[in-house]
């Protein structure tokens, strides 16, 4: 017996060349079989299509989230009635709000451009001095975004004393124009007709509202002064006419 033959005879069987070749061949066969099995079975192991399973249909009663409306109104919203807050007329809409009116405040507006418009009208009038402290104080405290500007607005009104407006002295809502709108922020130019003996004059307040905690909130004007967001004009060019008749 040759030395080389003796060496192979003395080695364990799994180190012999023949054994190794047989093992490699068996491994190749097993791997190939596994690949074929995986590629021909569906997820439940019963089919042979080889295609990815389709998405399951929505369960009964489920609804996909809907995009919020962003198209701003270009005509006066329909279905609006006007109610007095002090001597000012404010809009109320069954579809756009407010849904809760109590203790001098009005809340619960639709998350839509029309909801933001109604909120701008309601909150700006109710935050005005002429609405009375029972209205402007809770409105500004609860429905304006917190900050230094809001605090200054409150302080100015608290220091103003009491001087009720006389009939016919107050400006009334006359129209609106959307300067920008997103579901998070609305900037609306709200036009008021100022009482005068001659040519009609208007002032337009640029009002910013933000959607917070499920409702529209007003942003107080810089330094708490409405004059900082006001411009005076003699006409309503570019403004949608809207107001109590």
Locus of tokens 């909120």: 119
pLDDT single digits (tens) 79-90: 999 999 999 999
User: What pTM did the predictor assign?
Assistant: 0.73
pLDDT value for 6: 41
Question: Which pLDDT band, with edges at 50, 70 and 90, does 37 fall under?
Answer: very low
pLDDT value for 168: 65
- Ranges 22-36, 43-57, 121-135: which has the least confidence: 22-36
Most confident of 48-57, 187-196, 218-227: 218-227
d(C-alpha 114, C-alpha 97), whole Å: 9
CATH topology of domain 80-241: Nuclear Transport Factor 2; Chain: A, (3.10.450)
Whether 243 shows a pLDDT value over 90: the answer reads yes
pLDDT single digits (tens) 161-180: 766 666 567 899 999 999 99
Whether 21 shows a pLDDT value over 50: the answer reads no
Question: Which pLDDT band, with edges at 50, 70 and 90, does 68 fall under?
Answer: very high
* Mean per-residue pLDDT of the chain: 80
Q: What is the DSSP string of the chain?
A: --HHHHHHHHS-GGGSHHHHHHHHHHHHHHHHHHHHHHHH--TTS-----PPPPPPPPPTT--PPPPPP-PPPSSPPSSEEEEEETTEEEEEETTTB--EEETTEEE---SSHHHHHHHHHHHHHHTSGGG-HHHHHHHHHHHB--SHHHHHHHHHHHTS---PPPTT-S-EEEEEEEEEE-SSEEEEEEEEEEP-SSS-EEEEEEEEEEEETTEEEEPPPGGG-GGGGEEEESS-TT-EE----
Question: Which pLDDT band, with edges at 50, 70 and 90, does 217 fall under?
Answer: very high
Whether 60 shows a pLDDT value over 70: the answer reads no
Across the range 32-47, mean pLDDT stands at 40
Of residues 216 and 167, the one with the higher pLDDT is 216
186 with 113: CB under 8 angstroms?
yes
pLDDT value for 166: 62
> 90: which 2 tokens?
């404010």
Across the range 115-127, mean pLDDT stands at 98
pLDDT value for 45: 43
Whole-Å CA distances, 198 to 130, 150, 237, 243: 24, 35, 19, 20
pLDDT value for 150: 98
d(C-alpha 123, C-alpha 136), whole Å: 9
* Selection from 174, 175, 193 nearest residue 232 by Cα: 193
pLDDT value for 163: 63
Question: Which pLDDT band, with edges at 50, 70 and 90, does 245 fall under?
Answer: confident
The ranges assigned to domains in the chain are 80-241
pLDDT value for 26: 35
């Amino acid at each position: 017996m040759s030395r080389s033959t003796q060496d192979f005879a003395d080695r364990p069987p799994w180190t012999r060349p023949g054994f190794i070749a047989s093992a490699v061949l068996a491994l190749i066969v097993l791997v190939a079989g596994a690949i074929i099995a995986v590629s021909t079975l569906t997820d439940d192991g019963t089919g042979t299509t080889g295609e990815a399973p389709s998405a399951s249909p929505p369960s009964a009663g489920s609804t996909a989230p809907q995009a919020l409306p962003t198209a701003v109104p270009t005509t006066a919203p329909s279905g609006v009635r006007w109610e007095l807050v002090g001597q000012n007329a404010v809009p109320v809409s069954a579809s756009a709000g407010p849904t809760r009116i109590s203790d001098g405040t009005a809340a619960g507006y639709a998350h839509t451009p029309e909801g933001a418009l109604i909120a701008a009208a309601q909150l700006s009038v109710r935050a005005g001095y002429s609405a009375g402290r029972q209205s402007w104080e809770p409105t500004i405290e609860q429905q304006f975004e917190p900050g230094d500007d809001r605090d200054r607005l409150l302080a100015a009104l608290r220091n103003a004393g009491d001087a009720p407006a006389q009939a016919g002295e107050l400006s009334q809502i006359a129209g609106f124009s959307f300067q920008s709108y997103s579901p998070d922020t609305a900037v609306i130019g709200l036009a008021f007709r100022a009482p005068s003996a001659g040519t009609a004059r208007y002032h337009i307040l640029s009002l910013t509202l933000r959607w917070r905690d499920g409702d529209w909130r007003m942003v107080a004007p810089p330094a708490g002064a409405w004059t900082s967001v006001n411009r005076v004009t003699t006409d309503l060019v570019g403004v949608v006419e809207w107001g109590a008749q």
